[in-house]
Structure 1
């Protein structure tokens, strides 16, 4: 009897697991994760822990702008423009006398941008290493006399402010408008005796508006902003004390991209148009 041919099949060996394969899998997973994170950052993503807008050329997130009190109306308008043109941004504004703002920044206040009503207070930040880059001059301003509507004290010139019994209010000397007041008085050979010295030009204007003062020395832009609440008197001696306004980023800002974009808006054609409409002179004046 002939038996059919039977094909023998070799036994299947059990799969051998290489010891290193188990060890490499977690390493490969970690490597893949790192590559994904780095790729996201390179594509414009924000690294964990970074402030929005930091290190990116696209304005994003919040910036805090410290600006001289005389800039309140214009910078409020420009902040709105900036936010509208750069979705995802927010501008937090803080207004006060330039000397007060410079002191706050020197003491660690978290500002991203500083706009001063004079170069002296900006220089304080530069000397302390707190200005990010070279400040840019963006406007000029000169003093004018603010009086209540109807001018009850009959003020007609700068020398009238030295008359006995006149209730004059000025800025304190350390404030830019106060330094300008001292200079124009010296130029005119006058001794002024204010009943009050304020730390911000807006406070001087407020005392005239409320009727607490017969006159106040403020900027021409403040009188224009006040509208019918006060009347303004120009005087030739004002030309001896033209205040130049510089603006700069603050060193240590965590949102330099947005800060620089705001500086560009203020110093650019759009910002200059808003400032000129408010009565500010050009930076080269």
Structure 2
């Protein structure tokens, strides 16, 4: 059975302006972001607020495809960060700035602590009786996982398809699945799973684009591109954005 994705909202209110501005003078900035960015973006909240006095910042984390669907249904946000370019492309170009890839990620195999099933390669995921869970095909993590399996010439029959990469990590951590393919950052942050590396020849580089949906959203995009924003992303294990010509 597929899990129902849950939208997680984190609100961080910047201090009032030094000139004595009250709550009424604060600007509201809403950022929709892929679930895998939760920890890193959460750590950016205070530095961003400190650098943009008078702002109240709200992060909404969910599967990239869920966030885009909400925007298509009329939800309002100032910036959007997804876990792949294809999902971002579903947002009409007329209502956003040109997407900028601000970070990368790699895939790993998530297994229970201690790797009790001795899973060491993608080929091991095809073993009979092994319970494998993947993100759904519409989820960026699911697309990347299937690309990696194709590279490795491996076919698996997942016992569950999750609405976000966090769902995959959760099921492996709870013992409801033996293994899953997730982002390296998610496996590192989880306390109850271990990560098995996937060789470069079979791995897929996940690219995270961000776009501003309003003039205010440009400030968050600029922060992501700044030295401070990039340093926070590195601290949480994200890779640098690709070099631009």
The TM-score with structure 2 as length reference comes to 0.85
- The yes-or-no answer on 1:78 pairing with 2:41 is no
Structure 2 runs not aligned, ≥5 long: 1-23
Q: Which runs of 5+ in 1 are unaligned?
A: 1-50, 53-59
| 2:206 maps to 1:243 | yes
Equivalent residue for 1:198? Answer: 162
Task: Find the partner of 1:138 among 91, 94, 102.
Answer: 102
Give a deviation string over 1:112-148, Cα, whole Å, max 9, x none: 1100100001111145x332x2111100111101111
In 1: Cα distance, 2:101 partner to 2:125 partner: 31
Task: Identify the structure with the greater helix proportion.
Answer: 1
Instruction: Look up the match of 1:217.
Output: 181
Whose radius of gyration is greater, 1 or 2? 1
Label 1:238 to 1:280 Cα distance change in 2 as closer, same or farther (>3 A): farther
2:225 matched to 1:267? yes
Aligned to 1:41: none
Aligned partners of 1:206, 1:240: CA distance in 2, in Å?
22
Distance 1:245 1:83 in 2: 22
- Residue 169 of structure 1 and its aligned partner are, at CA, apart by 0.7
Runs of 4 or more above 6 Å deviation = none
* 8 Å Cα contact 1:181-1:217 kept in structure 2: yes
Higher strand fraction: Structure 1 or Structure 2? Answer: 2
Contact 1:188 1:237 in 2 (8 A): no
CA distance, structure 1, for counterparts of residue 189 and residue 92 of structure 2: 31
Question: Residue 169 of structure 1 contacts residue 194 of structure 1 at CA under 8 Å; is this kept in 2?
Answer: yes
Give SS of 2:98's match.
Answer: strand
TM superposition shift of 1:87:
2.3
SS across alignment from 1:125:
coil
Preserved CA contact (<8 Å) 1:146 1:232: yes
Q: Within 5 A, what are the aligned runs for 1:1-285?
A: 60-127=26-93, 129-131=94-96, 133-226=97-190, 228-236=191-199, 240-250=203-213, 253=214, 256-257=215-216, 259-284=217-242
Q: Distance in 2 between matches of 1:125 and 1:100?
A: 12
Aligned residues: 220
For residues 143-186 of structure 1, the C-alpha deviation after alignment (integer angstroms, 9 at most, x for no partner) is 10111111111111111011111111110011111001111111
> CA 1:205–1:162 in 2, change beyond 3 Å: closer, same or farther?
same
Please give the TM-score of this superposition, normalised by the length of structure 1. 0.74
